[in-house]
Structure 1
């Protein structure tokens, strides 16, 4: 393995930009701990980016069989290595002990999130005195299918995973780390209550998803027939992380075509059918154009604005995770999600 890390221009630009943002946000003596298992492809860039927000980075390696340790050390991280896999929890606690002189210790769960730019959000409440322990929760890369169903049904669930933990020095002086199951919400809360530690829960799902989706070219196909009242609202609601919006006017007889052609959203790709071919043909034509544009992921959102754009990540995530090649959402599954729909 080479003893030099090679970075392309885009990676250097990201790190330089994060350095500028971090200058005013990093207080003295912050340590970030990164648990890792076979992360050789990403650990180097994660360590380099994390160093812009911290003075010290410790990688806890769970007996990786690849070059995770070598890459992490070349990137400038200290490495604590497990000789036996699945003992990650013990090594994480060892990492906390090693970093006990830090003002703030941040733990970033690479099984959930790879984005160090969220670190300032986790440490800000501690710096402001609003809490002693901050817990960042988000939609997981590791959830089981039953948990995904709960989220698609818009119900609260304790399985929502922890992506970040940030401990103040005062917090660590109050709680007994050996008695806590890290990344278990129930364990953290019960121990914090017993120790009178102020805890703040931070929902980082939206930021996490936006960061993750930047790595993919995402297209949305919007079939529309006589949707002059709703097509613009549908386009306006499509999230910023979507790269292309393929709007298919399926032979509409109203002003749908005019509205599509006049939209100022640069992501919109208008496709017009001279005659109505049906929604299936419209979707297929949208898919074909998306494939020609080499989109990585393609979703369908009808032009009647009935799909809540907030639910789109919950359809995309199982595909990114490799759990499915195709996903489908049913808005009729829960009463909450049916709100606002036409009475028919």
Structure 2
């Protein structure tokens, strides 16, 4: 029998955390609540409901909370993560676990959108979600329909690949990218979700923009050809074309200064530098991947 542990990050969730712990205990062997610096009765209620509680000294963000929880669950065979605000249906836990138990997946992502648009999702959230999904999938070379889901299951052997560099909500995209790059099989299952709970601790617009910026920054390392080389090539083309145009105007007497031609030449040189930076980083990444693959054999 595989040992299953649920990790529930919680920050000031005294209203919902008790019921979440009690309902989650029906489907797992162990429940760990990670108190992320709560100032209410989250800790006391979690303990009364039967959860183990590990605490961060201050509110450090979801990424740090998950890292704390994963470190506390190192002896588990499968780890389930879900939010403490009551948004997730604990009755979906068996569906989340099944693909790992059956050996069909290394990681399972609970998706609100696996079978299309979720009717109860507010429109502004769905637009932002679509942008984040596309950015995450491009970065991770994946095809995830709900990249920001916090309802997931992980086989124990996947845990070492996660760096937990993102301290906030960008952790959801980061974990998808790292799992995909490591070659793990990620399967999605449909889950239900409640939107009648006060789940948001931050402004959804600033939250979405912040996550998108983190995904784009991560792209610098995962997709250097797109992050560096393509923009560099565009600079080269613009520099060459504008340089020839400016120089032709100078030769034809339409301009009495070579300054525009010089600036175009500098743009071309800078673009060349950027393009080669992407190529070098891409080559280094492939060499590192091959080295790691050979060591694992």
Alpha carbons of structure 1 residues 55 and 322: separation in structure 2 relative to 1, 3 Å: closer
2:162 paired residue number: 176
Alpha carbons of structure 1 residues 73 and 150: separation in structure 2 relative to 1, 3 Å: closer
Task: Find the residue that maps to 1:66 and give its secondary structure.
Answer: coil
Give the whole-Å Cα distance in 2 for the aligned partners of 1:104 and 1:80. 19
- Alignment equivalent of 1:198, drawn from 160, 167, 185: 185
1:32 paired residue number: 6
Matches within 5 A, 1:81-120: 81-111=55-85, 113-120=87-94
Alpha carbons of structure 1 residues 68 and 191: separation in structure 2 relative to 1, 3 Å: same
1:58 paired residue number: 32
The 8 Å contact of residues 112 and 162 in structure 1, kept in 2 or not, is answered as no
Q: Deviations over 1:191-218 (max 9, x none)?
A: 11221111112232xx33xxx4xxxxxx
Give the CA deviation at 1:83.
Answer: 1.7
Alpha carbons of structure 1 residues 322 and 79: separation in structure 2 relative to 1, 3 Å: closer
Q: Once superposed, what is the RMSD of the aligned Cα atoms? A: 3.1
Q: Gaps spanning 5+ residues in structure 1: where?
A: 1-26, 213-316, 324-344
- Alignment equivalent of 1:158, drawn from 133, 146, 149: 133
The 8 Å contact of residues 135 and 199 in structure 1, kept in 2 or not, is answered as yes
Give the CA deviation at 1:112.
Answer: 7.1
Count of equivalent residues = 181
- Alignment equivalent of 2:50, drawn from 76, 82, 99: 76
TM-score w.r.t. the length of structure 1 is: 0.46
Alpha carbons of structure 1 residues 157 and 183: separation in structure 2 relative to 1, 3 Å: closer
TM-score w.r.t. the length of structure 2 is: 0.53
The 8 Å contact of residues 43 and 71 in structure 1, kept in 2 or not, is answered as yes
2:239 paired residue number: none
- Greater displacement, 184-193 / 62-71: 184-193
Q: Which has the higher strand share?
A: 1
Give the whole-Å Cα distance in 2 for the aligned partners of 1:106 and 1:134. 9
Alpha carbons of structure 1 residues 320 and 168: separation in structure 2 relative to 1, 3 Å: closer
- Is 2:107 the counterpart of 1:121? no
Give the whole-Å Cα distance in 2 for the aligned partners of 1:322 and 1:52. 23
2:110 paired residue number: 136
Give the whole-Å Cα distance in 1 for the aligned partners of 2:86 and 2:107. 19
Q: Deviations over 1:97-142 (max 9, x none)?
A: 11111010001023572421111111100001110011113279xx
Q: Which has the higher helix share?
A: 2
1:186 paired residue number: 173
Give the whole-Å Cα distance in 1 for the aligned partners of 2:79 and 2:22. 17
Matches within 5 A, 1:1-344: 27-111=1-85, 113-138=87-112, 146-148=124-126, 158=133, 160=146, 161-173=148-160, 175-179=161-165, 184-204=171-191, 207-208=192-193, 212=194, 317=195
Give the whole-Å Cα distance in 2 for the aligned partners of 1:180 and 1:30. 25
